[in-house]
């Protein structure tokens, strides 16, 4: 997160006054300075409560964009912990630092010309082989990905395995920030997922058929009908629609198959 301190930020006294109104406050440390913030806030909201204005790099606030990577420690524990600031609620005495961006090497390539071969990854990211299996990347992943195992999969030329292991990656970059070998794991994984999706997984034939049907204007008249419908009519259609039951099996079909 790019952060600015609000000129009109609450003073510490102000925070405490709020506390006297009955909200339970918990002490946290943002960049080394102590604040008391209401319990149950996320780290991101706690920072705003403390007076920070998050200008950019605070992202989606929904745990999917990877912009708010955060590292923290608790007193008396040598273990470094990680979280997404928008997801993790504050805990007493946590020392918090934001890593909204981490400079990482990203290779340039012409994707159309890449083959689904391990050597393509080796050539673009030769630093892959600097990995010493220290596993710091795995410990730094707020998504719980087995990052080092995915790096190993790439070294073993198993692009599909690397793509699958890294599926939940949100590219926050915390792995790269901790890497002994200076790898940018998340960019390598993105390459793996691209190759896997475009060049390894079999094409979905039913999708191509459907796109063809759409291009042949098979659904246009239904859509035009909907576009011209009045609000009341749309509401009625929506309320009376036949919904797929929660327990429906794969062979479930609606009674009215006009649109299939």
Partner 1 sequence: MSLAYYPGCTLKTRARNLEEPAVASMEALGLKLDEVSGWNCCGAVYSLADDDLIHRVAPVRNLTRVEKQGKMELVTLCAFCLNTLKRANLLMKEDVEKRDTLNTFIDEGIAYNGEVKVVHLLEVLRDEIGWESLAQKVKLPLRELKAAPYYGCTLLRPREVAIDNVEAPSVLREFLKALGATPIDFGESTQCCGSYQIISNPNDISEYARVILSSASSHGAEALILTCPLCDYNLGQGQKELSKKSGLGEVPLLYFTQLLALALGLDPQVCHFELNYGSPESLLMAKGLLS
Chain positions contacting partner 1, by CB under 8 A? 118-119, 129, 131-135, 139, 148-149, 151-152, 155-158, 180
Whether the CB-CB separation of 245 and 252 falls below 8 Å is answered with yes
User: Residue 131 or residue 169: which is nearer to partner 1 going by CB?
Assistant: 131
User: Residue 30 or residue 162: which is nearer to partner 1 going by CB?
Assistant: 162
Element holding 2 (H helix, E strand): strand 2-5
Whether the CB-CB separation of 133 and 148 falls below 8 Å is answered with yes
CB of 131 to partner 1, least distance (A): 7
CB of 259 to partner 1, least distance (A): 46
CA distance 194 to 116: 10
DSSP codes of every residue in 92-130: TT-EEEE------------GGG--S-HHHHHHH-GGGGG
User: Residue 33 or residue 79: which is nearer to partner 1 going by CB?
Assistant: 79
Question: Burial code of 162-179, b = ≥16 C-beta within 10 A, e = fewer?
Answer: bbebbeebbbbbbbbbbb
CB of 118 to partner 1, least distance (A): 5
CA distance 193 to 106: 15
User: Residue 129 or residue 222: which is nearer to partner 1 going by CB?
Assistant: 129
CB of 120 to partner 1, least distance (A): 12
CB of 100 to partner 1, least distance (A): 28
User: Residue 47 or residue 150: which is nearer to partner 1 going by CB?
Assistant: 150
Q: What is the 3-state secondary structure (H, E, C) of 41-95?
A: CEHHHHHHHCCEEEEECCCCCCCCCCCCEEEEECCCCCCCEEEECCCCECCCCCE
CB of 200 to partner 1, least distance (A): 15
User: Residue 127 or residue 149: which is nearer to partner 1 going by CB?
Assistant: 149
């Amino acid at each position: 997160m790019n952060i600015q301190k609000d000129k009109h930020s609450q003073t510490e006294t102000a925070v405490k006054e709020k506390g006297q109104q009955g909200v339970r406050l918990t002490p946290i440390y943002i960049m080394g300075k102590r604040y008391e913030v209401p319990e149950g806030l996320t780290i991101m909201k706690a920072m705003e409560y403390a007076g920070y204005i998050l200008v950019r790099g605070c992202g989606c606030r929904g745990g999917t964009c990877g912009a708010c990577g955060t590292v923290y420690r608790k007193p008396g524990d040598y273990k470094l912990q990680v979280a997404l600031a928008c997801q993790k609620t504050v805990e007493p005495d946590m020392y918090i630092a934001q890593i909204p961006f981490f400079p990482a090497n990203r290779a340039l390539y012409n994707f159309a010309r890449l083959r689904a071969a391990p050597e393509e990854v080796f050539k673009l990211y030769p630093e892959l082989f600097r990995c010493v299996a220290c596993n710091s990347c795995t410990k730094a992943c707020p998504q719980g990905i087995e990052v080092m195992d995915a790096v190993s999969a790439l070294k073993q030329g198993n692009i599909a395995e690397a793509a699958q292991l890294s599926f939940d990656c949100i590219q926050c970059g915390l792995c790269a920030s901790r890497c002994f070998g200076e790898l940018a794991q998340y960019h390598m994984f993105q390459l793996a997922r691209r190759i896997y999706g475009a060049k390894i997984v079999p094409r979905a034939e039913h999708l191509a058929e459907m796109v063809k049907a759409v291009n042949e204007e098979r659904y246009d008249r239904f859509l035009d009908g909907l576009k011209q419908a009045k609000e009341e009519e749309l509401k009625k259609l929506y309320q009376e629609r036949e919904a797929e039951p929660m327990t429906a099996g794969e062979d479930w079909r609606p009674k009215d198959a006009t649109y299939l």
